[in-house]
A and B are shown apart, each in its own frame.
Chain A
Amino acid sequence: MGGPVERPVPEDSAPEQSAADVAPVTVGQGSVDSPSGVERHGMFGVAGSGDTSGFGGLVREPWTAPGAQRPYGSYFDEIVDGLYEAYADAAAAITKVVVERNELTLHIAREHLIGVATALRNDPSLRFELCSSVSGVDYLGSTHRLHSVAHLTSMTYRRRVRLEVSVSVDDPHLPSLTGLYPGTDWQERETYDMFGIIYDGHPSLTRILMPDDWDGHPQRKDYPLGGVPIQYKGATIPPPDERRAYK
């Protein structure tokens, strides 16, 4: 597979939702950064008793992926350059570029997601024809803790890029990619089911893996886990996150 392949973009490939339909994220861009993990003390998750282990003084701070500086290396510069050429608002759209472990992550402001994805799919120098995966991550402890992560694949150039959009629990809306990549239908339903991220413009955003009448979104980090009652003087096996264990 050599250079760009000239292929006409089909007439009906326009996204069903325009960028204007989506409210911009109201807070400053700096707070879009989401550290992974919450601050932790000690090693065993024990609270209340004295520091019997001697590890109680350990503090592990949440980690935030550092933004990458140019040159990004590999083919990543070409993708970002191509996106700047193909999408006029790219500077506002890309809130952060992360390059780690030979993978490119573009953090996108949600009002620009459709525009960026359209450019990535249609531009001859980008050609990300396939949306491999859409899933969610809950970075508990930050304002925009819910992340919707899309992995795009360019079959023409054999490249990959990850688009990450972060939203808050109070306003968990972002545009649906189903107009561009119909295959994200079920994956967005799953992400809604598990994280409560609402994809505006999705044809039927209903639960898919959990029962229809389920309460809450189980993959959120603050979703309560179940303990198991046992037949010994009313004792229970505590839920996994409350057990005494290395953390």
Chain B
Amino acid sequence: MTDAYAPSRATTEGRVYNLTGGDWDQVFGGTDPIHDERLVLNMGPQHPSTHGVLRLVLELEGETVTDARVVVGYLHTGIEKNTEYRTWTQGVTFLTRADDLSPFYNETAYCLGVERLLGVEAPPRAQLIRVLMMEINRLSSHWVWLATGGMELGALTAMTNGFRAREKCLDIFELITGLRMNHAYIRPGGVAQDLPDGYDATIREWIKGQREELQGVDKLLRGQPIWINRLKDVGWIGVEGCIALGITGPLLRAAGLPWDLRKTEPYLGYETFDFEVPTDDRGDCWSRFVVRVAEMWESLKIIEQVLDRLEPGATMIDDPKIAWPAKLSLGPDGLGNSLEHVQKIMNTSMESLIHHFKLVTEGFRVPPGQVYSKVESPRGELGAHIVSDGGTRPYRVHFREPSFINLQAVAALSIGGLVADVIASVASIDPVMGGCDR
């Protein structure tokens, strides 16, 4: 049979049609539709339901998925390789772009690793600011998961509400770092600049707004029959499956294991905060919804505790050989080096000028060795394997990206289910392709 829209060829697996349009009756005229209905469906990489550039190759018998393969790599930009040709501080600028929905986690994992190689620790205020930014980031990331996941399942109001709530998180980021994304705010040794005036009242007001948005989620989705039917008993994976596949984060907690690095291997003083690790026992998409929403409530609790604890102090380590020399300030012509710093290096201290020049162009040297530092990102364990050869540039930076590893679960979640449930399952993994492909 020849057809301009569906050329076919015989293979050892049977006759394969390449469907590009045309009359389906004509295309399938020669085949038995009941017993010979195997279809290989290519979904993505531009499909709106695959969270960016993720490609799924699904094998279907009718509407049942019999095989699922995942193709990634479309967004590979060589971030890890790039960092090897930049200074240690510039590495933050690259890595913040890896997982674009959780930039502060990338920055923190990297900076904690560099600081351990250096044998230094950021001052307490900087550590609290890092916790603050990461927890706000957890909310903003989970909001995007809810918004995009909702959209993919047809809940468009979940999308508009989710992005509205996330926009408010980005407003806080902009207030503190100056940027909505790609912040490069957390630096080795501390953070780029101190919190702005009036941050406390703004964030407390924002917390109130977020609580209202979260209550809105309960009102809109938790009892909604369509939402429940699309998520419950869909995309199951148990604790054993998660551990075998290396899956961490909300997927593992939704399967019942309370594994959260903030509790199990605390960093940045998380052991001193009062918060719960939400878990659920169903291990399906519904559990992941429940767990993520509960995590957002817990993050708000942590943010309030940070605000209560913040005391004036240094935000960058007191070591002129590591600390970034300049301080940014808002002048009449925009954001730039503070006037005092410019006056100091241009008028009074030649040594400061040399120092500024050396630190900015050459950077600091990091003692040789390797570390693996990890943080609990919104998607699971985010690890940074950093190797130094003693130079001013990283010898190797590898990110253990939870999106990359968790995506391996797609086959386990979707084989045997319906093709429509693949959408719910992939959304429940919450992959971010920028992080997956790096």
Contacts and interface: CB of A to CB of B under 8 A. Distances in A.
A62 interface: yes
A41 interface: no
Interface in B351-400: 361-363, 368-372, 374, 381, 383, 385, 387-393, 395-396, 398, 400
A158 interface: yes
A246 B246 contact: no
B408 A185 contact: yes
A129 B243 contact: yes
Q: Classify the interface of chain B: helix, strand, loop or mixed.
A: mixed
Contact of B246 (A105, A132, A190, A211): A132
A8 to B, nearest CB: 13
Contact of A37 (B245, B374, B381, B389): B389
A11 B309 CA distance: 52
A105 B117 CA distance: 15
Given A151-B383, A219-B81, A36 B389 contact: yes
B110 to A, nearest CB: 14
B372 A103 contact: yes
Contact of A183 (B119, B245, B257, B391): B245
A101 B390 contact: no
B143 interface: no
Contact of A162 (B117, B244, B372): B372
Contacts, number: 121
B280 to A, nearest CB: 18
Contacts of B392: 246-247
B265 interface: yes
A213 to B, nearest CB: 13
Contacts of A63: 368, 389-390
Given A133-B398, A186-B408, A240 B85 contact: yes
B80 interface: yes
A65 B81 contact: no
Interface residues of B, number: 49
B178 interface: no
A155 B387 contact: no
B230 interface: no
A130 interface: yes
Nearest to B390: A63
B336 interface: no
A246 B363 contact: yes
B212 to A, nearest CB: 37
Interface in A138-175: 138, 149, 151, 155, 158, 160, 162
Nearest to A212: B73
A182 B372 contact: no
Contacts of A122: none
Given A241-B85, A246-B361, A208 B73 contact: yes
B284 interface: no
Contact of B362 (A158, A181, A185, A246): A246
Contacts of A101: 116-117, 119, 369, 371
A65 B246 contact: no
Contacts of A65: 368-370
Given A36-B395, A132-B381, A151 B387 contact: no
Contacts of A105: 370
B22 interface: no
A206 B130 CA distance: 38
A37 B437 contact: no
B398 A184 contact: no
Given A105-B370, A137-B398, A190-B404, 8 more contacts: A36-B388, A60-B391, A132-B400, A133-B398, A137-B396, A151-B400, A209-B73, A247-B391
7 contacts: A63-B368, A63-B389, A158-B264, A160-B372, A182-B408, A187-B405, A246-B361
Closest 8 CB pairs of A and B: A183-B246, A37-B389, A133-B400, A246-B362, A240-B85, A135-B398, A63-B368, A183-B245
